[in-house]
Amino acid sequence: MSHANHYKSDLRDIYFNLFESLDIGKNALGQGPYASMDEQTAREALKAFELFCREQVSPGFFEADRTPLTLDGDGNVTLPACVTDALNKFYEAGFHLFEVPEKLGGMGAPPSVRWSAFEMLIGANPVVAFYVFGSFLATIIDRLGTGSQKARFVKNMVEKHWGGTMVLTEPDAGSDVGAARARARHVKDDIWEIEGVKRYITNGDFDHPENIVHLVLARPEGAGPGTKGLSMFVVPKFWVNEDGSLGERNGVYCTNVEKKMGIKASATCEMTFGDRHPARGLLVGNVHDGIRQMFHVIEQARMAIGMKSMAALSTAYLNARDYAKDRVQGSDLLRIMDKVAPRVRTIQHPDVRRMLMLQKAHAYGMRSLGLYLAHVQDRVELAGGHGSPEARQLDKLNDLLLPLLKGYNSDKTYELLGVSLQCYGGAGFLQDYPVEQYIRDQKIDTLYEGTTHIQSLDLFFRKIARDGGETLMALASEIQATLESAEGGEALAAERAALATALQDLQALMGTMMEKVTESLYHVGFQGNRVLMAVAETVIGWLLVRQAAVALRRKAENPADADFYDGKVAAVRFYCREVLPNVGHARRRVEQSSLELMSVPEEQF
């Protein structure tokens, strides 16, 4: 294939999710903070952005992987020219304003539209998507900063396209953020000096913007241990004076760039604070509330990774499908003994069809989960915003769904990209096709922003057990209501029956887990991932069954688009038949769970 363009979007399914299934034209657009965006505007903006991603962002995908980053002696990282070029065009076109609220000069798009755009950007070239984090961090400083901090940073970050990072991890404190040792010493007012070394900092330095703003967790002198002793600081690469002008070089430097398996043009940096000269920072909001403040950023990052994985699977599937439609190999299985039978395209082979539909059903399912969650975020803002009493239940639903999106999408996509590669036969292992790079670029998704098991522990302990299962039970009630409404009629009877069985199995699984936890928390260690996968597959099954009912109805109204709607229903039927039974298998595995492995001596491993 040509290396000029690998990316295949699925704008038709994005439109279906937004405007047919979720109906955001009626349920979000034109209201509250989204008053200035209607459905036609949203459609046109997404269509223009899809074209931009295919034509301007996607072509650098291969070159960015094969052009090494450089780090000079002053801690400056130079990007491949293709990445710089894409960033220039991104900002020139004003597409960074998708995620900026209207009050800060942005488009005023709801999260559902913003995340749909993000899917296309990160699917076209994930490293480019990572470098535009500054616009989002501007909204965090606008939300949490003091008046002076907002005046110094927010407008600059949006209008001058400054970079932004989240700085948590340390060499001796990976996922255990509470073990961080970076120190903060108070100087005066909200000014502090930071000392320490941070590691695995995504895009800690790069040469595109004139300034980079780091949000850093550090422990003030005298603060207690653990996460509660951490505070969050704004630490810019170049100091920002009170009038917003740039000052001298600040004492934070990139001291190493990691060499990685994938997303190679994303500079994963070791950052050293206060070694060459003081690294000054501002205490965010002038309050010591670091971990809670940083979770605004962490949750955005986890959502982004869930969407990144789904986008990778979607374009991988569409590439594999097109290859299978062209590649001629072997005869039809029904004529396998006929030596002179005509050769057929591989999409005519049953196993290839199985692999393709497995990818399609999951890509549709992951997108349905991501955009449903994004629409929950629409509703949070319409109800008064994050933390408001009116949005309390929606906030809890958002919190429940986040580890599903991040954990399930990243873990399942890595498995399914192997299926995608298999559709090519030996050609998939070559760099002639994009799937081998998809695999290398995507594997990180199961690891950073909290590994899959960290997502599982978060789901079980914080999102289910902490509120007595209230939010999960409310979601189960919604699923039950869909079953009782019999949407789709007789045409979806088998799919509703499969969903009903999965829901019963999930409820039994959760009951068993609650009993086993009283014996030992090790049961959560052994079964937590299985619990997350079972919850995710049940919720996705529900969303897909609802979408199938919409597709059947819309096909009757719009027969010219029958292939899309029939393809949607075919994917849902496949998912309900082939994937939903996994929940029953998970239930039986949880019921049989034992702690025997904990007593196996280390010498036997």
Distance CA 83, CA 54 (A): 14
Structure pTM?
Answer: 0.97
> Does 267 have pLDDT greater than 70?
yes
Q: Which of 238, 266, 288 is the last residue of a domain?
A: 288
Query: Taking Cα atoms as reference points, which of 64, 85, 77, 82 lies closest to residue 207?
Result: 77
Q: Is residue 536 part of a domain?
A: yes
- The answer to whether residue 148 is domain-embedded is no
State the average pLDDT over residues 417-446. 97
From 263, 288, 313, the end of a domain falls on 288
Residues 75 and 186 in one domain: no
Beta bridge partners of 574: none
State the pLDDT at residue 177.
Answer: 79
The C-alpha atoms of residue 75 and residue 67 are separated, in whole angstroms, by: 19
Domain with 253, as residue range(s), is 161-288
Whether the per-residue pLDDT at 343 is higher than 70: the answer is: yes
Is 467 domain-assigned?
Answer: yes
Residue 449 bears catalytic tag: yes
- Residue 1: pLDDT band (50, 70, 90) is very low
Dihedral (C-alpha) 354, 360, 362, 366: value to the nearest 10 degrees? 180
What's the whole-number mean pLDDT along residues 569-586? 98
pLDDT of amino acid 604: 96
The answer as to whether 79 is a domain residue is yes
Which of the four pLDDT bands, split at 50, 70 and 90, describes residue 458? very high
Same-domain status, 132 and 49: yes
Q: Mention every residue, 6+ apart, whose C-beta is less than 8 A from residue 144.
A: 284, 285, 293, 296
Residue-wise pLDDT for 371-381, tens only, equals: 999 999 999 99
Instruction: Classify residue 350: in a domain, yes or no.
Output: yes
Tell whether 542 and 449 lie within a shared domain. yes
**Nearest-angstrom CA–CA distance, 602 and 605:** 5
Of 232, 256, 288, the last residue of a domain is 288
Domain membership flag for residue 145: no
Residue 175's pLDDT band (boundaries 50, 70, 90)?
A: confident
For position 476, what pLDDT does the model report? 98
The count of structural domains within the chain is 3
Q: Residue 146: inside a domain, yes or no? A: no
**604 part of a folded domain:** no
Q: Alpha helices of 134-221 — where are they, by DSSP H?
A: 134-144, 147-159
- The single residue of 50, 449, 495, 537 carrying the catalytic annotation is 449
Is there a single domain that holds both residue 422 and residue 305?
yes
Q: Are 42 and 109 in contact (CB under 8 A)?
A: yes
Whose structure tokens read 């170049």? 238
Distance CA 587, CA 593 (A): 10
CATH number at residue 577: 1.20.140.10
Read off the CATH number of the domain in which 259 is found: 2.40.110.10
**Residues 418 and 316 placed together within one structural domain of the fold:** yes
In this predicted structure, the answer to whether residue 362 has a pLDDT above a threshold of 60 is yes
pLDDT tens, position by position, 523-565 = 999 999 999 999 999 999 999 999 999 999 999 999 999 999 9
